[in-house]
Amino acid sequence: MPAIMLQGTGSDVGKSVLVAGLCRLFANRGLKVRPFKAQNMSNNAAPTADGGEIGRAQALQAQGCRVPPSVDMNPVLLKPESNTDAQVIVQGKVYGKLRAEDFNDGRTSLIGPVMQSFERLRAESDLVIVEGAGSPAEINLRNGDIANMGFARPAGVPVILVGDIDRGGVIASLVGTKAVLDPEDAAMIKGFLINRFRGDVRLFHDGYRSIEKSTGWRGLGIVPWIAAARSLPEEDAIPADMAGKDGVTIAIPLLPHISNSDDFDALDAEASVRIVHVPPGQALPGNARLIILPGSKTTISDLAFFRAQGWDLDLAAHIRRGGHVLGLCGGYQMLGKTIADPLGLEGTPGEVPGLGLLPVRTVLTEDKRVTEVDGISLGDHTPFRGYEIHCGRTELDPGAVPLLQFSNGALDGAVSQDGRVAGCYIHRLFDDPRQRSRWLAKLGLISDGIDQTVRVEAALDAFAAELAGCLDIEGILTIASFAS
């Protein structure tokens, strides 16, 4: 069954978005397409219908295929908890932890589930589009590799190598990749494409031909900077703050282990909103009308980091000025009175004080809740939909006011007596225009009312149409047909 794999000359060359665009392009041609990434490292995850989780990039790619996300699309997900260890998710469920020094041996043992998932996708599709991770040129990682050539060779999937010309040095990065690869690995690469070209493509004609001559690979096209691609979420990138954009400021502190940063994409798309991501060493802006504490993979250490920056003092001043505060998932836990970790899941067992802005207390637990949810905001009954991915149980103090009610009657979140501080476990809360309108109204703003799913659908179609005009699509299908 046909399959093709996009690998890159490095990280962040645009592989994830290119796969999403190609998925939509071939789906629009009537093919049953499925995305696949053997191993992803990201704290940005999305739920699947069967209660599992995968990287958000694969969820976007599934949307490109017009199919629900499946755990088989990303069978191994590594969620970093520090610089030296990561939680391992295998086929959607928590598998354990890996330390950096054990990565090679530990990942090699996961090739079985990886191949199992890939074969299931292959059996149900006309075409599987596979995304690599980082670069195959990282030959120091080759022995434990299951994400690039360590997958492509045993699976028999031909490779297209992606180079990012916007970074500079694209000729050297493509030709150099072939030079450092083992000959059998290099033989898997059948073509290349250039991504993020600016200007007159004719000026790169000689460079393009030199790559073909030096590598023997087939050139499959040059992708320019495409506006629609910038509307699609990257795998891990925090969107660049839009310099010069007018609008009411919403500030988001950049925690070391921030998770699900795509929670704010729908807000960022609003013309009346200016999102400011606050890096370490800078104060939370005094002109912010809303400060959002984002999700975190390691709530306790990120809370300590938050305090070390003096952001707790900035937040208190913000509230005194009449500003609004919202905590999502780990950010919600931070807003409470205490966070207890009796099992030492995030380090030494114990309990730490929260920011004390909501009358709730959290206990971290081994069990992870991963599910899609819907319901209403209590008070005004505004509908919402979203999902939960978290470890921990949060209890409200007697008399505390919950924020949301699920359709099954369960309650979630909390809101302060004056209504200015709130928190909940729901990711992608702002994707629903009804909830986004509700929150922007608190800031005196009117939402554009566009559902984020509709916005992403339009971007996928526009991006796919642009790819059809600049890539050798028939050449890609020909290479895919060589899959064994």
- The one-character DSSP state at 402 is P
Residue 427 appears among annotated catalytic residues = yes
Instruction: Count other C-beta atoms under 10 Å from residue 242's C-beta.
Output: 13
Are 477 and 2 in contact by the 8 Å Cβ rule? The answer is: yes
* Closest alpha carbon to 325 in 282, 279, 294, 283: 294
Asked whether the CA dihedral 382, 51, 393, 290 is positive or negative, the reply is: negative
H/E element, 37: none
Q: Extract long-range pairs of 109-113: CB within 8 Å, 24+ residues apart.
A: 110/39, 110/75, 110/76, 110/146, 111/146, 111/150, 111/151, 111/154, 113/75, 113/76
Q: Which of 257, 277, 318, 427 is catalytic?
A: 427
Q: How far apart are CA 330 and CA 297, in angstroms?
A: 7
Are 48 and 70 in contact by the 8 Å Cβ rule? The answer is: yes
- The one-character DSSP state at 232 is S
Instruction: Count other C-beta atoms under 10 Å from residue 399's C-beta.
Output: 7
Are 194 and 18 in contact by the 8 Å Cβ rule? The answer is: no
**Coil vs helix vs strand at 64:** helix
Total H helices, total E strands in the chain: 16, 26
Residue 65 appears among annotated catalytic residues = no
Q: Extract long-range pairs of 178-183: CB within 8 Å, 24+ residues apart.
A: 178/214, 178/215, 178/217, 180/137, 180/139, 181/136, 181/137, 181/139, 181/149, 182/139, 182/142, 182/149
DSSP string, 313-379: HHHHHHHHTT-EEEEETHHHHHHSSEEEETT-TTSSSEEEE---SSSEEEEEEEEEEEEEEEEEETT
Q: Which of 65, 329, 391, 424 is catalytic?
A: 329
**Coil vs helix vs strand at 43:** coil
Chain-centre distance for alpha carbon 136:
21
Active site residues: 329, 427
